[in-house]
Amino acid sequence: MKELARLTAVSALALGAALPALAGEITVYTAYEEDEIAAYVAGAEAAIPDLKINVLRLSTGDLAARIIAEAANPQADMLWGQAITATMDPQIIDQLEPYEAKGADTLDARYRDPENRWFAPTGYMGTFCINTERMKSKNLPMPKSWKDLADPVYKGEIEMPDPTSSGTGWLHIISLLQGPWGEEEGWKMLEAVDPNMAEYTQSGSKPCKDARTGEYAIGISLGITGVQSVEQGYPITLVFPEEGVGYELEAAGMFKTSKNKEDVKRFMDWLLTPEAVALYEQYKILITVPGATVSDTAKEAGVPADLGSILADIDFAKAAADQPRIGEEWTEKFAR
């Protein structure tokens, strides 16, 4: 009997050595799009096979509201791919625990929190989607800036998202209101362009989609939608305004209350690996990790290789604090 017990124990040990360790498991809240999530999670789980990643996807606003509502009893281990402006809300950022992920020290300072509560491997940016055929047929000059868009020659030819309902609209106007000339001059710029606006939309991608089909000459929209439009064969080129390009970062951070912090850290480390960057390049223009490349299609569309050089200088904490006030002022001035 003693010999049988010894052999059983040895067999159990051998079997355990042949099998992977029991999987770790984390729950992640994200605002990334569904197709991105599927690709990123598959890549992470392939790289970390003993980790199971459960994901709840909500829009930026809904996700922020859920995190705040759950503050007394958090249900997630990690925030991932959430707009940094929303993350900067004290009710959210105060829930995050500092952790310096491997490789985070290589990120530019604007893409990471000085206290290591968050970092952003990806983001999204604004652009002017220009329909070159409509511009030519109407003999319109190619704009280079917001200042150019105030020219009456563009009356009825411009569409942009409403910043009170669209994150894309918000990133565009905050780049002006935080510009080097100051908020007062930024409002004046928006007021000068307003008479040329055909419509303010609820969707951030709609202005580019309307421009690419020739409904309008200029759609103030998302860079990725512009690149996709070029890839699909539409007569679109992208113009990044000389005043500075508005953008938003997509932050990752660990909740203080997580019971699976070591597994969260493994996933956060993976987010900055070359394997992760290769996946980002399939879905993103703005990738903050050193070594990321701009696709040939993006270059063809007009995206510069050095994206950091054209981005506006944005104080995201200030933007988050000012958002309610700015939204009210924009509604008073421009709501239709």
Q: Would strands 247-255 and 78-83 be described as parallel, antiparallel, or unpaired? A: antiparallel
pLDDT tens digits, 118-142: 999 999 999 999 999 999 999 999 9
- Burial (Cβ within 10 Å: 0-12, 13-18, ≥19) of residue 1: exposed
Residues in the chain, pLDDT under 50: 1-21
Question: Buried (b) or exposed (e) across 181-197, using 16+ Cβ within 10 A?
Answer: eeeeebbebbeebbebb
Domains present along the chain, CATH in parentheses: 22-123+248-291 (3.40.190.10), 124-247+299-334 (3.40.190.10)
Question: Buried (b) or exposed (e) across 119-136, using 16+ Cβ within 10 A?
Answer: bbbbbbbbbbbbbeebbe
Q: What is the pLDDT, as a whole number, of residue 208?
A: 97
Show Cβ contacts of residue 222 under 8 Å, excluding neighbours closer than 6 positions. Answer: 124, 125, 126, 127, 168, 204, 205, 208
In whole angstroms, what is the distance from residue 268 CA to residue 96 CA? 13
For 117, the 3-state DSSP assignment is coil
Q: What is the pLDDT, as a whole number, of residue 12?
A: 36
Give the other-Cβ count within 10 Å of 168's Cβ: 29
In whole angstroms, what is the distance from residue 189 CA to residue 141 CA? 19
Task: Give the predicted TM-score (pTM) of the model.
Answer: 0.87
In whole angstroms, what is the distance from residue 232 CA to residue 245 CA? 24
